[in-house]
Amino acid sequence: MFDRYVISLFFVLNAIGNIPLFLAILAPFPLKRQRMIILREFFIAFIILLIFNFFGQHALNLIGIDPPIIGIAGGAVLFLIAVMMIFPHENQKLRGSKHEPMIVPLATPITAGPGTITAVMIFSHQASSPFVITGAIAIALFASMLIILAASNIKRLLGEKGLIAIERLGGLILTLIGVQMIMSGIAQFIQHEFHGIPYGG
């Protein structure tokens, strides 16, 4: 189960698909400074995801949102993200800013975005302990950070078409994960509403 959390979060983070964004935003800065920025922004993203891992579920409980609804909504968000990965829109080219990015947009929403936050909250509810998800977050973020740190080399090696192919493959896998979350949420809701089976039972 742990490996599923890691793999799912890794694909939601979509590091390979984000390579052009990081390269464009960090273009004005020297390579050494780029690496420092990447390390800092991934650490901030880690903190953001930890907050939702430990406290996101409690916040949802306070406003009366049941676990199956989280799964259905989260699956829908992941599905939409996957569709955008497979069929990307023609976005305007990003121009590097002279000002160093801080938290926005690299830490969030590019890294710790809505899809990643939703996945973390869902997995936190499913796992035996939030510390399990903490480990999954750390591994997925570390692997993603290594990819971003090597972004220039990866882009040179794979080329634009190679990056697009890998991003779309990740989108396809993410589609399957999203659909599974939706179906599991629906099944859990039906079991609770019509058969009286408690959530998590």
Does 157 fall in a domain?
yes
**Residue 141, domain CATH:** 1.20.1250
Q: Is the pLDDT of residue 201 over 60?
A: no
Distance CA 45, CA 119 (A): 14
Q: What mean pLDDT comes out for the span 29-41?
A: 94
**Residue 51 belongs to what domain range?**
2-89+99-195
Statement: residue 14 has pLDDT above 90: no
Number of structural domains (the chain) is: 1
Question: Do the domain assignments include residue 94?
Answer: no
Task: Evaluate whether 158 touches 24 at the Cβ level (below 8 Å).
Answer: no
Per-residue pLDDT for 25 more than 90? no
Domain contains 200 = no
In a domain, 201, yes or no: no
- Residue 99 contacts residue 29 (beta carbons within 8 Å): no
pLDDT of residue 89: 66
pLDDT at position 98 = 63
Query: pLDDT, tens digit, for every residue of 75-121?
Result: 787 788 778 778 876 554 444 456 788 998 899 888 998 778 888 98
In a domain, residue 22? The reply is: yes
Is 109 a domain residue?
Answer: yes
Nearest Cα to 145, choosing from 41, 33, 23? Answer: 41
What average pLDDT does the segment 30-47 reach?
95
Instruction: Kindly list the distances between the CA atom of residue 70 and the CA atoms of 75, 107, 109, 133, 177, in Å, as whole numbers in the listed order.
Output: 8, 23, 20, 16, 14
